[in-house]
Structure 1
Amino acid sequence: MADAIGLLRPRTVIGPSLRAAGEWALRFDTFLHVRIGGLVRGTCWLILDGHEPVLLREGDTFMLGNPPPYVLASTLDASPRPAAPVWAGAQDALVRIGSESEEDLYLCVGHIAFDDQNAALLTDLLPPLVTVRVDDPHGTRLAQLIDLLATEVGIAAAGGPLVQNHLAQILLVHMLRAHAGQTDRPTGWLGALNEDGIGAALRAVHADVAHPWNLKELAEISHMSRSAFAHSFKNHVGVPPLEYLIQWRMSLARDALARDTLSISELARATGYLSESAFSTAFRRVVGSSPAQFRNQARQPPRSAANGS
């Protein structure tokens, strides 16, 4: 997990937090990547377009992955207003709705964005909404982290942004663990978290991506027969073992090419290919362009910057 999240290069924006009283509803537009939040106090409804409304209670946490528009509301019949101007009026990292003396809700949220090159490593694995209840095996720990995050947001202490950033990323890891334990669907590399044998094979691949791995070696690491390993791996991860290996190598390659840290021949060797041509063929099959084309495109400034807007 550390390898994958490190490759995503997460960037965290915490808050503002929401304190509210009375009847209210805010409609949020769709956004990219991940938002994590939790209720420090009170209850509210989370209404995701196309999904059944979810009542969040004190101590519950939630994670939104590339979601459609959604509403946070005190009641299901409250009329929502756009959240953007309300959020823009935050003061001291806090949005208030209603009378301060009557506040009965305290919601803490953070947005985690990833490098676009590899964001799909995670976002393709997530449903639009993951909810962890406070009485879930992971729930108490997550509620404590949300409480710590809310405390850091509410004080102007030295090193606050650094602490907030790390707490948000710890929250992300625990939410991913909770999600992997809740679902019986294939969840990519998340699917190995609760599987010792498959996890051992994945750790070996990530530790030495340049090694010429084959199915027999990976099955032996997992203490399974080749057929049992291949079936279990695909069942939990969603793709065959050697296809996963290729996808992971190409994720590393995209990251290196975008940052121009290695030549193409060096990158070929670093990702387990005996020649630049073999690497280029695999890269084109997975990514849809040659390594040189991808690197050149990554060097181009964003369109908005090029236009001066």
Structure 2
Amino acid sequence: MSTDQVSEVFDLVDVRGVLSGGFVARDRWVSRGPLQSPLKFFAVVSGRARLTTDGIDAPLELEAGDVAMLNNRAWLELEGGSGDGPPREIRPEENGPLAVIDHHTADAIVGGRIDLNPAGRTLLMQALPPVGHLRGSGSSATNLRGTLHRLFEEVRLRRIGAEFAIRQHVQLLVLEMVRAHVEQADLPPGWLRVLTDERLRPAVAMMHADPGEPWSLADLAGAAAMSRTSFAEHFRTVAGVPPLTYLARWRMLLAQRALRDDEVRVGDLAARLGYGSESAFSTAFKRQVGLSPLRYRQSLTSAPRSRLGQ
């Protein structure tokens, strides 16, 4: 039985980090514009930057190794550098001459977005704050800093196989961002908090491993070595929903993946996920997703598949 439910969820919602661009600037500079993607990130490889966006009272002061995550924000302004005169404006999508300037004596910035499949968009966006400031200083962020620098070197040097390496490093950067967020922030109730709660890990592992089983509150509480009352109260505090509601939502995420990727019959899928009839499954699916299983599958096949932000 797998104990790494975070990896399982990442695979399920098809998390993919995409590098948008980057630049290196020494003198005063500013980059501003609307944000087209729901989940964006900006990282300071070296130097410093000030980030302003809608929903915050004061700019974020970003230092080398810091990453800012923006969740459903409308616009962004980044500024940095020093000197007299007006700042040089750099367009957000610009991919500047990273190899020209010694980035150790300048501000080096990279930015990107986090793409998800439709089932994962709400899941991850609910787990992240509107604006997250991940600090690169400290022992807990060692891997975040290291991954960021390796990504930047691939972008800057453009060695053989660079595009492949960049894709892998951005994927790892997204994971390190989530890890740093778990370490540095007080997580709100939700799936990310419940998946990192050690007391609930055995019960959550059971639900994830065998979602079609008719798990009872007593079964789950026993796995967690807690009384039913204590387990139910603790689970709701951590997850924001009762245990069996969490199980029902997990089943619906699995159902959406199956309807996207498999040719499975709806009746077979209903049985696999523990529903007594196809109609019971269809009712539950429509309540959670907003469409019947067949309409959901048709909506995917009638339109080109795309990822958020493209």
Aligned length: 298
CA-atom RMSD in angstroms: 2.8
Distance, in Å, in 2 between the alignment partners of 1:131 and 1:166 is: 23
**CA displacement 1:202-229 (0-9 Å, x = unmatched):** 2221111111112111111111111111
d(CA) in 1 for partners of 2:61, 2:223: 44
Match of 1:55 among 45, 52, 61: 61
Output the TM-score relative to the length of structure 2: 0.86
The 1:91/1:30 distance shift into structure 2, 3 A limit, reads closer
CA contact (8 A) 1:191 1:237 kept: yes
- Aligned partner (choices 83, 88, 113) of residue 91 of structure 2: 83
Contact residue 185 and residue 236 of structure 1 kept, 8 A: no
What are the equivalent positions in structure 2 for 1:57-206 lying under 5 Å apart? 57-74=63-80, 83-84=91-92, 87-88=93-94, 90=95, 94=98, 104-206=106-208
Residue 300 of structure 1 and its aligned partner are, at CA, apart by 0.9
Kindly indicate whether residue 24 of structure 2 is the aligned counterpart of residue 16 of structure 1.
no
Contact 1:35 1:109 (8 Å CA) reproduced: yes
TM-score under structure 1 length normalisation: 0.86
Deviations 1:81-100 (CA, angstroms, capped at 9, x unpaired): 5734xx24x367x498xx87
Unaligned runs of 5+ in 1: 305-309
User: Following TM superposition, by how much is the alpha carbon of 1:127 offset from its aligned partner in structure 2, in angstroms?
Assistant: 1.0
Q: 1:101: how far off? A: 9.3
Q: Secondary structure at the match of 1:157?
A: coil
Alignment partners' CA distance in 2, 1:217 and 1:130: 37
Distance across 1 between alignment mates of 2:99 and 2:9: 34
1:191 CA displacement? 0.4
1:45·1:54 contact (CA, 8 Å) conserved in 2? Answer: yes
Q: Distance in 2 between matches of 1:254 and 1:191?
A: 23
**Distance (Å, rounded) in 2 between the aligned partners of 1:30 and 1:38:** 16
Matched to 1:283, the amino acid is: F
Amino acid at match of 1:20: A
One-letter amino acid of the counterpart of residue 42, structure 1: G
Greater relative contact order structure (CA < 8 Å, 6+ sep)? 2
The equivalent position to 2:47 in structure 1, one of 42, 45, 69, is 42
What CA distance in whole angstroms lies between the structure 1 residues aligned with 2:123 and 2:264?
22
Deviation for aligned residue 1:15: 4.0
Cα distance change of structure 1 residues 75 and 161 upon mapping to structure 2, 3 Å threshold:
closer
- 1:121 counterpart SS class: helix
CA separation of 1:102/1:14 partners in 2, compared to 1, >3 Å: closer, same or farther?
closer
1:202 and 1:162 mapped to 2: Cα distance?
Answer: 35
**Which position in structure 2 is the counterpart of 1:307?**
none
SS in 1 for 2:23: strand
Q: 1:27 Cα shift?
A: 1.0
Residue 288 (structure 1) aligned with residue 290 (structure 2)? yes
Consecutive aligned runs of 4 or more in structure 1 exceeding 4 Å deviation: 75-82, 99-103
Alignment partners' CA distance in 1, 2:156 and 2:164: 14
Percentage identity across paired residues of the two chains:
33
Distance 1:176 1:143, change over 3 A: same
How far apart are 1:268 and its partner, in Å?
Answer: 0.8
After TM superposition, give the deviation of residue 187 of structure 1 in Å.
4.0
Give the secondary structure class of the aligned counterpart of 1:269: helix
Which letter does structure 2 place at the counterpart of 1:167? H
